[in-house]
Amino acid sequence: MSVTEMPTANAGSVKPARLIQYFTALSVTMGALSFGTSIGFTSPAGPMMNETLSGEEEMMWFNSIINMGAMAGGPMGGLLINVVGRKGSMLGSVVLSLSAWLLIIFGRNFASLLSGRIIGGLFMGMTSLVVPTYIGEMASADIRGALGSGFQLMVVIGILYAYLFGAVINNWRVLAVVCAIPVAIYGVLAFFVKESPTYLLSKGKEKEAREALQALRGKEYNIESEFKMLRETQEALTRNQVTWRDLMQPHILKPVIICLVVMVFQQSSGVNAVLFNLGTIFKEAGVGLPENISAIVVGTVQVVATGIAAPLLDRAGRKILLTGSAAVMAISHFALGVFFYLKEEGEAPGWLPLTSLMVFIAAFSLGYGPIPWVLMGE
């Protein structure tokens, strides 16, 4: 029996298959986990690279230049998803990430290492746009929110992955190889996922779009109602092309500004500086625990807090979580600054750096970590 001949009685009695959607979401969010390993790599690797990088300035460039690549990767991903598709963009980003890790693994000078981090940033920027877009388009409405929240969770799992292996590997090149493994797995899994039905419809490939949607919903589910809605939405978008002038309309401009400002605050919170340099921070602080163990503790707190954030978002509300998150992060930053001031004076409580950063990362994960991504979708 062909797809178009399926009985309509299933529409009300059979729900979309979830297992294939869960597996598809897991496959593409391996890109988010790979994103996280790029962030977490420098914390354990930094102290091992003293013989390769000449001084603190080169280390700071190596840690932070990835953000420049990510700035370019976002717009690049926005262009590619409509040219080569969501799946094609994901596979292309895998090539970028593997190239970046190869440059780092085999790099013998500062220029090659820096190039690797910049290209890795392109991967991060593309992934942060392409993967959430794909999940939003392929997931059925009943589990779209749950699957979408998995992106941030996989990012922080990737960060913890780098911290854990960094604690047992004493060679930063070997650590880079280990951090490249999730990217290779992501590439294999992404190769086998279905292209987004929305993208296929936008290119006039109705038959392929129908087949992809049926595969994602299960053979027993009648997709006719959902497919009709997708097609009507695509036709409406084709008829009503959005221009830059439309952006100035208050009902569009206000939410755009809100999202941009919240994203600016997210990036200005200092979270990347903290995550890139956790090992160095704890080494300079001279706390009782080894710096790698302290970083693992903070990474674990981040994973747990991010897991808690998903159900909390709808119960507590976005505004109160953002406000509380910002306030607690500010206090944590202040406390860490006080510690280093007291350390220079000769007396500082050894428990303060770890406690401050645990509280900071928990506050970020409950508010400014996930909420900006949620707001963009809403």
Nearest to residue 187, comparing CAs of 123, 251, 234?
123
Q: What is the pLDDT of residue 1?
A: 39
Amino acid at 255: P
| Cβ count within 10 A of residue 83 | 8
Share of the chain above pLDDT 70, in %: 95
Q: What is the pLDDT of residue 13?
A: 58
Which position has the token pair 């929305």?
198
Nearest to residue 266, comparing CAs of 157, 375, 340?
375
Angle 87-88-91 from CA coordinates, rounded to 5°: 90
d(CA 106, CA 108): 6
**What does the pLDDT average to over 160-173?**
94
Tell me the two tokens of residue 280.
Answer: 């160095």
Nearest to residue 17, comparing CAs of 171, 305, 289, 216?
216
Q: What is the pLDDT of residue 280?
A: 77
CA distance readout (Å), 35 to 151, 155, 171, 313, 360: 10, 6, 21, 23, 21
Q: What is the pLDDT of residue 9?
A: 38
Confidence label for 95 from pLDDT (cuts 50, 70 and 90): very high
Q: What is the pLDDT of residues 324-364, one digit of tens each?
A: 999 999 999 999 999 988 888 888 888 888 899 999 999 99
Max avg pLDDT among 82-86, 224-228, 315-319: 82-86
d(CA 279, CA 273): 11
Rg of the chain taking only CA atoms, in angstroms: 22
d(CA 229, CA 337): 54
Q: What is the pLDDT of residue 97?
A: 97
Residues 168-179: b if buried by 16+ CB within 10 A, e if exposed: ebeebeebbebb
**What does the pLDDT average to over 18-28?**
94
Query: Are residues 218 and 12 in contact, defined by beta-carbon separation less than 8 angstroms?
Result: no
Q: What is the pLDDT of residues 179-216, one digit of tens each?
A: 999 999 999 999 999 999 999 998 989 999 999 999 99
Q: What is the pLDDT of residue 378?
A: 63
**Range in 59-73, 141-155, 232-246, 354-368 with the lowest mean pLDDT:** 232-246
Alpha carbon distance, N-terminus to C-terminus of the chain: 39
CA distance readout (Å), 131 to 191, 218, 276: 14, 22, 23
pTM of the model: 0.84
